[in-house]
């Protein structure tokens, strides 16, 4: 759920939008003019702004341009003007998405979700998960069924590389290139040794694999054993 700022002058539409988003669990604030919307966006730092283009004091497009010079808050432009040029101008000026009035609250909610998902990727990192494995890439932490694993840097890189492409067979050549940064040379044995250490830490063996499956003569793949 998000903190949403609605900048909309229409006295009928504004409370409707506020109620709809409030019912969906968002924390909602509003402004009825461009300038008050701009200062609210700067002061309250919402997660997302819904910006009407037809405002009484300043045109929404100008509000957007001013806002962009001080903030990268996601903005969804709402407009009754469905002419291409003004929408394209808004997207060029830094709007993340747009809605043409009249729109349903379901449409609005879908756009909000999509925009927050897109911008959220950079800010709040989603861990990689495969079965009971949970890998926090930036923090370089791994848990298996909630228990923290003590991996060496190389084991971590190896596991992460495989977890980024679950179910795919990754060749040892590729692992030597991407994990060991040995584009030429390097030995399969190096990979085998680290794989066996990693297996031990995952509590499995090559003979009875759960996550790490060797594909003889080709490479290795990480699978979700709970699938």
Q: Which is nearer to Ca ion, 59 or 224 (by Cβ)?
A: 59
List of residues contacting Ca ion (CB under 5 A): 9, 52, 54
Q: Minimal distance in Å, beta carbon 139 to Ca ion? A: 45
Question: Residue 79 is encoded by which pair of tokens?
Answer: 């407009």
Residue, CB closest to Ca ion: 54
CB of 60 to Ca ion, least distance (A): 8
**Minimum Å distance from CB 8 to Ca ion?**
6
Which residue's CB is nearer to Ca ion, number 47 or number 52?
Answer: 52
Judged by beta carbon, residue 63 or residue 133, the one nearer Ca ion is 63
Best CA proximity match to 79, nearest among 4, 9, 3, 2: 9
Q: Which is nearer to Ca ion, 17 or 112 (CB)?
A: 17
Strands (E), 63-197: 75-79, 97-100, 128-130, 133-136, 141-144, 147-148, 170-171
User: Minimum distance from CB of 57 to Ca ion (Å)?
Assistant: 11
- Tokens encoding 202: 């995952």
By CB atoms closer than 10 A (0-12, 13-18, 19+), residue 226 is exposed
């Amino acid at each position: 759920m998000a903190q949403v700022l609605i900048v909309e002058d229409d006295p009928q539409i504004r409370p409707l939008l506020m109620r709809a988003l409030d019912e969906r669990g968002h924390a909602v604030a509003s402004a009825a003019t461009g300038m008050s919307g701009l200062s609210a966006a700067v002061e309250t730092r919402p997660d997302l702004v819904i910006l009407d283009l037809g405002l009484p004091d300043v045109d929404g497009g100008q509000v957007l341009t001013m806002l962009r010079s001080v903030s990268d808050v996601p903005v969804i432009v709402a407009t009754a003007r469905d002419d291409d040029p003004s929408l394209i101008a808004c997207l060029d000026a830094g709007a993340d998405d747009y809605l043409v009035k009249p729109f349903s609250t379901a449409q609005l909610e879908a756009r909000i979700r999509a925009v927050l998902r897109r911008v959220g990727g950079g800010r709040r990192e989603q861990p990689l998960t495969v079965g009971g494995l949970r890998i926090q890439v930036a923090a370089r932490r791994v848990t298996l069924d909630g228990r923290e694993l003590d991996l060496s840097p190389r084991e971590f890189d190896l596991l992460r590389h495989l977890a980024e492409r679950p179910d795919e067979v990754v060749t040892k050549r590729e692992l030597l290139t991407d994990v060991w940064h040995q584009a030429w040379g390097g030995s399969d044995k190096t990979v085998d040794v680290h794989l066996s250490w990693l297996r031990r830490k995952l509590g499995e063996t090559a003979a009875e694999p759960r996550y790490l499956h060797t594909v003889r003569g080709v490479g290795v793949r990480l699978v979700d054993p709970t699938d």
